[in-house]
Structure 1
Amino acid sequence: MAQEKNNAGDQSRRNFLKNGALAAAGFMIVPRHVLGGRGYVAPSDRLLIAGIGVGGKGESDIHEFSKGNADIAFLCDVDERRAATSVKRFPKAKFYKDYREMLDKEHKNFDAVSVSTPDHNHAVQAMAAMQLGKHVYVQKPLTHDIYEARMLTEAANKYKVVTQMGNQGSSGDGVRQLMEWYNAGLIGDVHTVYCWTDRPVWPQGIPWNANKAEVPKELDWDLWLGTAPYKDYVDKLVPFNWRGWWDYGTGALGDMGCHIIEPPFRVLGLGYPTDVECSVGSVYVDEFKRGYFPESCPPSSHVTMTFKNKKGKDIKLHWMDGGIQPTRPEELGPNEKMGDGGNGALFIGSKGKMMCGTYGINPQLLPTSKTATTKVKQTIARVPEGHYVQWVNACLAGYGKKELSSPFEIAGPLTETILMGNLAIRSFDIRKPRTTGNGFDYPGRYIKLLWDGQNMKITNFDEANQFVKRQYRQGWSLGV
């Protein structure tokens, strides 16, 4: 941002007295907008950040921000146990449990917000911050459902704030190397992509625990639930196993897709898919019966989405989780790892193949011996400062002044693509009583769902559209 010029004479004297009074009051660092409105660079040139969700990944996020020209001014978490390390690390930061109270009381005292809470609350927290003109960094996946992703993408442009999603691999060298190989035509036109993960590493495909437990005194359970339907607290859901339940999480695809699908999404310039289909694994309830539990994400899944390339030809993207992997390419040696072992992405083109691990790391041409001997010109700038400091620097510069790796204009459509896979997975479990005989029919299974990306609508199976936009619990709203 350009620093505002002080007026001569009395104006300079007034500014001097004003800044002196602030210093005398003990304010070492003042939010940038306080001294001169938006666009003003504070004398300290430091970004003041409020963290929402500051335990676990949130703790590591704000620690990374603090390595740049940023100070952690406020901490907010519904669970004091999870927040304890951050409170100790940043003793000058004021602590809140309710992000709404913090935004209401303190919004004039910070510049940006980091959101690292369970998936179901990302959108409402990020939107509230953006509507106050705050820059936002939101952990992956950006949102819990497709509609939320579209709304946050539009809001970033509307409110002119700097945004970044927490898929740090998008700032890595690996994805840029893949782009340079592809742009150089080394593997030709890609027609098929495989993405896979060994996640979940938390329980999925199980019935809900009906045993009510006592809520820990440090946890505000109602605030933790946020937008989700009210349910009694159960053991072992917090802080991690919520990922396997649709009310709160987005399963293995939501957790890892932003890291593994991001490289092909960026390299190939993918937009909205045109269709999606899937198959899912089930569990054995007893010796003779397999079970499906619609409240819980399945133990494994295989999702196939179709995209159009710039020439109008199909690209098939396969997602596999729960340990399912594609067949090893013939060019890969029998003892060589595919991807990074448990996770990876494989690009199959008309002239060749390439692959990478999670976050786009360790990019390889196939056979791998070609990687060291193939040289292409570096055409894409690297991000030596890293994903976190890149966002801090962009916030300090101001909206539209610096390039980011995963702003919402990129992260939003990527998240929508990932959540399209979940829409198909959830449609698989829609059941209707049979018109004749006993039991249920599953009309969403074994069909291809046709997607109108512009209008966010499945056009050939209307029941699936309930998963585009969920209903919030009473008292909660996205505010749009």
Structure 2
Amino acid sequence: MVTEKNNKGNQISRRSFLTGTATAAAGFMIVPRHVLGGKGYTAPSDKLRVAGIGVGGKGESDIAEFAKGPADITVLCDVHDSRAANSVKRFPKAKFYKDYREMLDKEHKNIDAVSVSTPDHSHAIQAMAAMQLGKHVYVQKPLTHDIYEARMLTEAAKKYKVVTQMGNQGASGDGVRQLMEWYNAGLIGDVKEVYCWTNRPVWPQGIPWPTTPAPVPSDLDWDLWLGTAPKKDYVNKLVPFNWRGWWDYGTGALGDMGCHIVEPPFRVLDLGYPESAEASVGSVYVDEFKQGYFPDSCPPSSHCILNFKGKKGKPDVKLHWMDGGIQPARPEELGPNERMGDGGNGAIFIGTKGKMMCGTYGISPTLLPTTRNKEVNVKQTIARVPEGHYVQWVNAAIAGYGKKEVSSPFEIAGPLTETLLMGNLAIRSYDVRKPKANGNGFDYPGRYIKLLWDGPNMKITNFDDANQFVKRTYREGWKLGS
């Protein structure tokens, strides 16, 4: 079981992992499942019976990781037959469905947990449906497409008392724990500014929606894939990867990579909801007099600034997010041939007494200048997760709600996701009442002001048009929860 402590007796409040309790004691009796029963309960003597929704690509590797622990993959669900083929072959005894609603209706008594690895716009409805049946859930990052959805899933996890985990594997890595130990030991002082960056997107963005539809792949159920999203014709190469660059389905580079790169500073600094956000974005050349800003598509690059109020006497924190190849200035303490972050991605903490950096997932934690790493020896105070992110969740689900700790439960993953999506509000803040006269998209006045955010109430207080993106309208026939 993972436990967390701070040097000098300090507490990491909300960032602490769920408090663990003893589950094995003298005279402990294993009771069969059919005797104990109960919503969301898994008998300690059994393997976790997992259903996978979205079992191609990342979903394929997710369920393969669960199977390395005490888990049986008993049900598979995917709207795209060829994408699911490898998982079907690997788990031949698992029943297969196309529609997750039919799968849950027919198999809910035969499963204990559900893994969701579908496009962003489907995460919330699938996870909520599983939680309402008392099923433990593992959901790929970002947790949801919308801020409202993230808040609802966070509250539902507590309400339905299920074990949850978001698929940001670095949350269980040694790197973020090393960074926390350095920060708690005061090696870099108080952090006032953080820079996070990625070389993504590596898919098309900043382009208009294609005017020519393409044939739907013969083995893809396009209507089920669309789910909550508006009804549109299929376009070439949208599935399985390029949907990430379209706001109807994805959350851009910030949603895709932020859960891996922003997570270390979010946890180390115990950040809460941001108080404000501002953004600038790259555009695409259209012609001599036009810049390409297209409301359907995420921009090709962006720079977001999220401002956080300091806690417990700590200073306020300004967090920069950069994507599309934009990078911060190299720290003076970093040698000219030393790699910044992991190359294309990373995070740099600017403290009052020093600096530290890491790569994606919090890997390669490094004090700056790098010579400090040979001199500093801070005692390990935070237990590691030797079983890894996936098996940690499996073990916790078998133990039951509140019995074992997980690294990225929705109580942490939800606010982290909300923070990232807050950045997207600034990126997307066009004025719906004022489309440009030349038809070239909309005006984006929200990009030229600081958006003030009321986190508890999920509302921009000084530019109401931005609030249209806090909670989207689902396509008719779809809803969040029963």
Normalising by structure 2, we get a TM-score of 0.91
User: 1:315 and 1:439 mapped to 2: Cα distance?
Assistant: 34
Match of 1:386 in 2: 388
Secondary structure at the aligned position of 1:285 is classed as strand
Paired AA for residue 453 in structure 2:
W
Larger Rg, first or second structure (1 or 2): 1
2:282 maps to 1:281 = yes
What are the equivalent positions in structure 2 for 1:25-174 lying under 5 Å apart? 33-38=33-38, 42=43, 45-174=46-175
**Distance in 1 (alpha carbons) for counterparts of 2:46 and 2:108:** 18
Task: Describe the SS at the equivalent of 2:445.
Answer: coil
Q: Is the 8 Å Cα contact of residues 205 and 283 (structure 1) preserved in structure 2? A: yes
Q: How does 1:1-12 map to 2 (within 5 A)?
A: none
Give yes or no for contact 1:59–1:86 (8 Å, CA) kept in 2: yes
SS at match of 2:446: coil
Cα deviation code 1:372-419 (max 9, x no counterpart): 220011000000000000000000110000111000000000000000
Cα distance change on mapping 1:378 and 1:206 into 2, 3 Å:
same
Is 1:331 aligned to 2:341, yes or no? no
> CA offsets, 1:312-342, max 9 Å, x none?
6321000000000000000000000110010
Alignment map for 1:53-452 (pairs within 5 Å): 53-310=54-311, 311=313, 313-428=315-430, 432=434, 441-452=443-454
Q: How far off its partner does 1:233 sit?
A: 1.1
* Shift, 1:308, TM fit: 1.4
Greater Cα shift, 148-157 or 205-214: 205-214
Asked if the contact 2:42–2:112 (Cα under 8 Å) also holds between the matched residues in 1, the reply is no
- Secondary structure at 1:182's aligned position in 2? helix
Relative to structure 1, is the Cα distance of residues 108 and 34 closer, same or farther in structure 2, using a 3 angstrom cutoff?
farther
Asked if the contact 2:50/2:114 (under 8 Å) is kept, the reply is yes
* Conserved? CA contact 2:43–2:398, under 8 Å: no
Q: Secondary structure at the match of 2:287?
A: coil
Query: For 1:40 and 1:151, how far apart are their aligned partners in 2?
Result: 22
CA contact (8 A) 1:4 1:40 kept: no
The one-letter code matched in structure 1 to 2:81 is E
> Cα deviation per residue 1:119-145 (whole Å; 9 max; x = unaligned)?
000000000000000000000000000
1:11 is aligned to none
AA aligned opposite 1:397:
A
Distance 1:140 1:269 in 2: 20
Q: Deviations over 1:23-42 (max 9, x none)?
A: xxxxxxxxx75453138664
Distance 1:35 1:58, change over 3 A: farther
Distance 2:290 2:327 in 1: 26
Structure 1's unaligned 5+ residue stretches are 7-31
Would you say how many aligned residue pairs link Structure 1 and Structure 2? 453
Q: Which amino acid aligns with 1:266?
A: R
Which one-letter code corresponds to 2:456 in the other structure? Q
Contact preservation (8 Å) 1:140, 1:255: yes
**Closer/same/farther in 2, CA of residues 278 and 40 from structure 1, 3 Å limit:** closer
Distance 2:144 2:441 in 1: 35
Greater Cα shift, 352-361 or 34-43: 34-43
Over the aligned positions, Cα root-mean-square deviation in angstroms equals 1.8
Deviates more, 1:366-375 or 1:305-314: 305-314
Are the counterparts in 2 of residues 205 and 293 from structure 1 also a CA contact under 8 Å? yes
Deviation at 1:216, TM superposition (A): 1.8
Q: CA deviation at 1:45?
A: 2.1
CA contact (8 A) 1:431 1:441 kept: no
State whether residues 293 and 442 of structure 2, in contact with CA within 8 Å, keep that contact through their aligned partners in structure 1: no
8 A Cα contact 1:47 1:395, kept in partner: yes
* 1:144 aligned counterpart, secondary structure: coil
Amino acid at match of 1:398: G
Give the drift of 1:217: 2.0
* C-alpha contact (below 8 Å) 2:99/2:224 kept by paired residues: yes
Q: How far 1:44 moved relative to its partner?
A: 5.0
Structure 1 residue matching 2:448: 3-state secondary structure: coil
Higher RCO (CA < 8 A, seq sep 6+): 2
Please tell me the residue identity of whatever aligns with 2:392. Answer: Q
Provide the rounded CA distance (Å) in 2 between the counterparts of 1:457 and 1:90: 45
Q: Quick one: distance in 2 between partners of 1:454 and 1:285?
A: 40
Note if contact 1:430-1:443 (Cα within 8 Å) is conserved in structure 2: no
- Aligned counterparts of 1:40 and 1:337: Cα–Cα separation in 2: 48
Report the equivalent of 1:27. none
Q: What letter is aligned with 1:407?
A: P
Give the secondary structure class of the aligned counterpart of 2:121. helix
1:170–1:359 contact (8 Å) kept in structure 2:
yes
Q: Residues 114, 166 of structure 1: CA spacing in aligned structure 2 closer, same or farther, 3 A cutoff?
A: same
